[in-house]
Every structure is written in structure tokens, then in C-alpha cells.
Amino acid sequence: MARLASYLRAGLRLAVLLGVTALMAAPSFEAAAGVELPKLEKGKGEKCVEDTAFMRRNHMELLKHHRNETLRQGIRTTKHSLKACVECHASGKTGSVASSKEDFCVACHSYAGAKPDCWDCHATKPGKHSVRQAAQPAVSPLMPSSGGRQ
């Protein structure tokens, strides 16, 4: 038994060596209980594409689903696209969702201890091809689209 234990210990050492790189931060709201909630800048437009409460918990799933559809299948709907998030939530001050501590994405993620790597590749500012402009009239031609016209 003692020998088994030392096998395990040796194995563990190995695992630690190999596992250094696999560290991942687990996002959790509960963990930060007691800290004051981040104050978020209000997005453009009347309301988000989904309930705020739903979005708070599930936006990552929606985004993940959407990114796979867009990239792998070429489905280019805009409702749950990251670009659309950025267009509505880019800060009035910095023009970005993630360049200062108060910006929409960063403010909440740092509160929740989440470290997504979206911004390694994705732009944090809206571009000249607005997704909302193209899509909004199609979805609801009567509602003026206020998002992303900049």
C-alpha cells in the first residue's frame, strides 16, 4: 500500500509538471459575494436581445453556439453575434467593450473572476460594417435601429 502511495506521488509530480499550463480560472458569481456589484454602462437601444438575467448567466453559451454556426456553417445571423454585443455595449468614453476597467465586458468579468480570451482575436470596438444596420430592419422594420450607427 505504501508503495502504491509513492507511485501515486510520483505520478502526481508528473501531472503537476504537465498540468501547469492547463490552469483555468473558474468563473463564479458566488465566489465574489460581498464585493460590490460592478456598475455597467447602459447599452444602446431599448433592451438586450434576451432578458438581462438570462444573458448574465448564458451569454457565453449563446456566443459559443453562434460562433460555431457562423464559422463552421457560414450562418451569419446577428442576434447573438459578438459583433452585435460590441456595437451596443461599446463604452461611450473609450468606444470599446474591453479597453478600460469600467468597460462593459471587463467590468463584469473581473468581478466574476472570468478570463475569456475573446479579445485576443476579436476587435473590442465596433467596425464600419454594422451588423445591426443590416439586420435590424429585416427583423423589425418598424423599430428604428439605434445601435451601431457610428
**Which residues touch 66 (CB under 8 Å, ≥6 apart)?**
77, 80, 81, 82
C-beta of 22 vs 35, nearer to other proteins:
22
Q: For residues 20-39, which are near other proteins according to CB under 8 A?
A: 20-22, 24
* Per-residue mark of binding to other proteins, 64-103 (x: CB under 8 A): -x-xxx-xxxxxxxxxx--x--x-----------------
Q: Which of 61, 52, 63, 56 is nearest to 111 (CA)?
A: 56
Q: Which of 39, 41, 43 is nearest to 148 (CA)?
A: 43
C-beta of 37 vs 75, nearer to other proteins:
75
Q: Which of 101, 120, 81, 128 is nearest to 41 (CA)?
A: 101
Selected from 52, 127, 143, 146, the binder of other proteins by CB under 8 A is 127
Give me the half-sphere count of Cα atoms (radius 13 Å) on the Cβ side of residue 36: 3
C-beta of 37 vs 68, nearer to other proteins:
68
Is 125 exposed, middle or buried (CB count within 10 Å of its CB: 0-12, 13-18, 19+)?
middle
Selected from 10, 12, 31, 37, the binder of other proteins by CB under 8 A is 10
Footprint on this chain of other proteins (rule: CB under 8 A): 3, 6-7, 10-11, 13-14, 17-18, 20-22, 24, 50, 54, 58, 61-62, 65, 67-69, 71-80, 83, 86, 117, 120-123, 125-127, 129, 135, 137-139, 141
